[in-house]
Structure 1
């Protein structure tokens, strides 16, 4: 019988042969990880820029609300100079509160602009964004309360209340009612802008994991 030759298979280098060689380096991270981080930074920077635009728009609408209400007054022309009917915003405590509260909101919005610019320069910084979201929420509550109360007064001025024998005055004081109504509309626009700013701050604080 013929003997079959033994075949050997070289599996690889032995441990002795591998000694002295440099260890295998781990695989480098895939290139898309760096791109993902850069995309998150660009995303947050875009949100911060949009926040600044909304903040500047809110400053404009708050200025319009304060200036319009502060100048809301009218004197009926068909009486003598010694006996006239006059309507002014400071005759109503609600409208006086409106001017004071919206002035406070306006001052805050102006002071918050530098923090919004910091969020653009450092989109990953959380401290300025946390300060803005808390302060924006407080100003949102203040602006909403004063706008709602003034809207109720404007409604009474236009329609009155027969059950309480409160007469509508807008048939006589048309300019006063138009000015006060315009101020309330500007205040509600400011409220909407504040809501959007709070939402943007919440989005910017959220960790974006999917790109």
Structure 2
């Protein structure tokens, strides 16, 4: 919206135009869809890894002269700090997505401060999710391939279901982080349009 104003200084008049940015109370439907998608993906990722558990019977041979012993071994997400970080990060992102969805719907007056706070928190969620995905992905890769230099053997050949569930949770969380990233990009484009 353009507003024309006249100012007088020492008998001289000048005209200037001010451009006011009107932040309408219109909700962007794509913004809401991305928030719902981020909420759903991070919720499913957290729950999927949070319930992930597999028990297998593994043969261990302590000494070459003794017969092998069958020992039940359980793989749980709580045993690795990277997976704990992943579950907690996705739970935080899911909770924030629900809160930001409510705040976005409630921000019908177009409060700029609230919009900026939501955008900054969206960016924080991108960083949080991508860092937890990196940590869990590194441990997951170690489980799939092992590391011969430190004598860590593969475990995904034994705990296949557990590892596959971790991989699916990682993929869902990645797309949840991507949804938050798109929200930040949309906010940047909206800011660019205003100026």
Where on the TM-score scale, by shorter chain, does this alignment land: which range? 0.7 to 0.9
Contact 2:49 2:165 in 1 (8 A): yes
Q: Distance in 2 between matches of 1:78 and 1:142?
A: 36
Q: How does 1:6-155 map to 2 (within 5 A)?
A: 41=24, 45=26, 48-77=28-57, 83-119=71-107, 121-122=108-109, 124-155=110-141
Q: Secondary structure at the match of 1:85?
A: strand
SS of 1:84's equivalent in the other structure is: strand
**Bigger radius of gyration, 1 or 2?**
1
CA RMSD of aligned residues (A): 2.3
> Which of 124, 135, 145 is residue 159 of structure 1 equivalent to?
145
> Whose strand fraction is larger, Structure 1's or Structure 2's?
2
Report the alpha carbon displacement of residue 179 of structure 1 after superposing the two structures with TM: 0.8
Question: Matched residue pairs, number?
Answer: 165
Q: In structure 1, what is the Cα distance between the partners aligned to 2:189 and 2:118?
A: 13
Distance in 2, matches of 1:93 and 1:115, equals 32
Partners of 1:204 and 1:116 lie apart in 2 by 15
Normalising by the residue count of structure 2, what TM-score does the alignment of the two structures yield?
A: 0.77
Structure with bigger helix share is 1
Listed one character per residue, the Cα deviations across residues 124-146 of structure 1 (whole Å, up to 9, x for unaligned) are 54222111111111111111111
* Cα deviations by residue, 1:5-54 (Å, 9 ceiling, x for unpaired): xxxxxxxxxxxxxxxxxxxxxxxxxxxxxxxx99x95xx846x2211110
Q: Which string of whole-angstrom CA distances, capped at 9 and with x for unpartnered residues, describes residues 153-198 of structure 1?
A: 1111111111221111111100000111111111111111110011
Taking the aligned partners of 1:78 and 1:208, their CA distance within structure 2 comes to 63
1:197 matched to 2:183? The reply is: yes
Structure 2 Cα separation of the partners of residues 139 and 92 of structure 1? 22
- Following superposition, the deviation at residue 207 of structure 1 comes to 4.1
TM-score normalised by structure 1 residue count:
0.71
Runs of at least 5 residues in structure 2 that lack an aligned partner in the other structure: 1-20, 60-69
Q: Which runs of 5+ in 1 are unaligned?
A: 1-36
